[in-house]
Structure 1
């Protein structure tokens, strides 16, 4: 059967349009973080928003008001968690993964790679994408909390201050300062 009733189709059109506008307004009011590269926490919220939107569209048991309230609750909770974690940095590790050094001075860090389930080929790809042709020309590769890889060429390493808070980088910084 193509559809049960015309009223169901009209409901999807009306409630779907209203829910879409609600999502756009919520995303615009909650800021860029909602749309930024996703760490695990942001991905969960995004999936929950999508699931809630689908439920609003397809379930006649959920009113637009209930759905809009659920969407707003998710957006508010994400904003509260983001606000708290920026003011209490220790809590940030509960919500997001800490960045990890996976290559130091051209040498892959096997333990870190194993922990992060990362292959040397992925590191090589990131190094190539950065414009380097040799791992020896790279001071550091960091697996960021959003899953991306940051490559720091040896000639741009400087004091290494950008690696503050990166797991596995603290020993290197101490060694560089002495």
Structure 2
């Protein structure tokens, strides 16, 4: 129950160290975007890399070379998708969603909230987490492509140019 064999422990230590070092090298080679979680596809790659590393460490039926191949494949696919979507707007539109405006000038946008299956309490929580106690002090709350909320106060809004690509921002 506590230990199957010392060989298994030794394998985890050796393969774990080699896999960890390899993953660090792969991430350095593919750039910061690989773990950025800017959208759902980035998040999926992050989870898949972690799952693959765990499998390499704990499953003796997966060789280190097989695991290395899987890590390189995931990072390589992420690199190709990110590179392509940054150069081809039609591919970017296919792979990612637009950020969506949920609250404008202190007023909830019910259609947008319904579309994204969000409750007013969730948006209020995001506002409170920014240290803002009055919705009238909020110019915009945006649901970003990675699922996080951006809260822009009236004093930070400026000319609003950062909201150019936000759905519903032009319909206020």
- Verify same fold: TM over 0.5: yes
1:1-178 correspondence runs (5 A): 1-172=1-172
- Alpha-carbon distance in 2 for matches of 1:76, 1:47: 15
Specify whether residues 91 and 133 from structure 1 end up closer, same or farther in structure 2 by C-alpha distance, changes over 3 A only: same
Distance 1:11 1:163, change over 3 A: same
Aligned-residue CA RMSD (Å): 1.8
Task: Give the unaligned 5+ runs of structure 2.
Answer: none
For 1:131 and 1:54, the matched residues in 2 are separated by 38
Contact 2:39 2:96 in 1 (8 A): yes
> What is the TM-score normalised by the length of structure 1?
0.86
**Distance in 2 between residues matched to 1:157 and 1:15, nearest whole Å:** 51
Runs of 4+ in structure 1 deviating by more than 6 angstroms, as ranges, are: none
User: Partners in 2 of 1:39 and 1:18 — Cα distance?
Assistant: 29
Shift of 1:37: 4.1
Structure 1 window deviating more from structure 2 (128-137 vs 56-65): it is 128-137
Alignment match, 1:176: none
Superposition deviation, residue 90 in structure 1:
2.6
Structure 2 distance, partners of 1:83, 1:170, is 29
Deviates more, 1:56-65 or 1:150-159: 150-159
More deviation in 19-28 or 119-128? Answer: 119-128
Distance 2:80 2:143 in 1: 26
Separation (CA, whole Å) in 1 of partners of 2:88 and 2:38: 20
Cα distance in 2 for residues equivalent to 1:12 and 1:123: 44
Q: Name the SS of the counterpart of 2:168 in structure 1.
A: coil
